Amino acid sequence: MAQLTYRESVSLAIAQAMRKDPKVFFIGEDVGAAGGVFKATVGLLDEFGKDRVMDTPISEQAILGAAMGAAMAGLRPIAEIMFSDFLAVCWDIVANQIAKTRYMSDGQINIPLVIRTANGGGSKFGAQHSQSLENWSMMIPGLKVVAPSSPGDVLGLMNSAVNDPDPVIFYEHKSLYASKEELESTELSIPLGQSNILHEGSDITIIGLALMAQRAKKAAIELKEKHNINAKVIDLRTLVPLDLQSIKSAINETGLAMTVEENPRLCGWGAEISSLITEHCFSNLKGPVTRLTTPMYRYQALIY
């Protein structure tokens, strides 16, 4: 048994990938000597050296431009954008170049690139460093979107992401870095598109992602103890690809559904899932799908 924190699992997952494949390298701002601003990459520079763990200037465009070129040339880069909010600075490279290269080359060029980034709020970093931005990448064709909720999921999903032929955005939640988990093995592989049941129940299905999946699990335990309500909690793990089959099976069993999103309500991922549930499970629904989200007070009149 090994006990790992979420941040330790990030470093271990990257190290495992680099040990297995010499084509994997790591690039980003302060990722080497400093060990990352969240101390999630400590020890990588010492083990692999500056040729494979590359500290860069403060330029998101340079980081992803270099990583994209390396991926096109046959390497498997892992690139860090320090805060997910900074994806806005290099969004043209992500959405218009990285995501579209395979399509525009008629399948001749793949981009096996993992973009790691710290996502979500609750850590007192300010409004422009605390957004939850999975929706930005979910709607771009050509990108895969991952958001692990536990140290074991970090290990298993990173393994699959590094070996995927397509670009993957890997959202790590800042408020989970200190969380711990006992693992029987650290050699894990979780297929992209495979969700996880965090709590069994037959009365309602609660669907969450990353930090919200863990909070949904805590709420489900409280619902059982205090109100005898049995809630099934699904941790999506990935938004693209999406495990629609598991969602359908759960809704057809419970008849009620709630999505729990850190994203703002307008155009959140829960809206897409609510639409899919209505489309595929309508005859088994006992009531409308409920969405619990971050409020958007300025736009309430547009929503209600």
Instruction: Give yes or no: 129 in active site.
Output: yes
For 222, residues 6+ apart whose C-beta sits below 8 A from its C-beta are none
User: What gap in Å lies between CA 194 and CA 144, rounded to an integer?
Assistant: 13
Rg over CA atoms, the chain = 19
Q: What is the C-alpha separation between 268 and 261, in angstroms, rounded?
A: 7
Residue 276 tokens read as 């899919």
113/169 Cα distance (integer angstroms): 8
Give the single-character DSSP code of 284: G
SS3 119: strand
Q: DSSP characters for 142-175?
A: T-EEE---SHHHHHHHHHHHHH-SS-EEEEEEGG
Alpha-carbon separation of residue 125 from 69, 131, 261, 276 (angstroms): 32, 10, 19, 34
Spatial strand order of the sheet with 231-235 comes to: 196-199, 231-235, 204-208, 257-264, 290-294
User: HSE of 281 in the Cβ direction (CA atoms, 13 Å)?
Assistant: 26
Beta strands across the sheet bearing 114-119: 53-55, 24-28, 76-83, 114-119, 168-173, 144-146, 238-240
Structure tokens at 209: 């992602």
User: Catalytic amino acids?
Assistant: 129
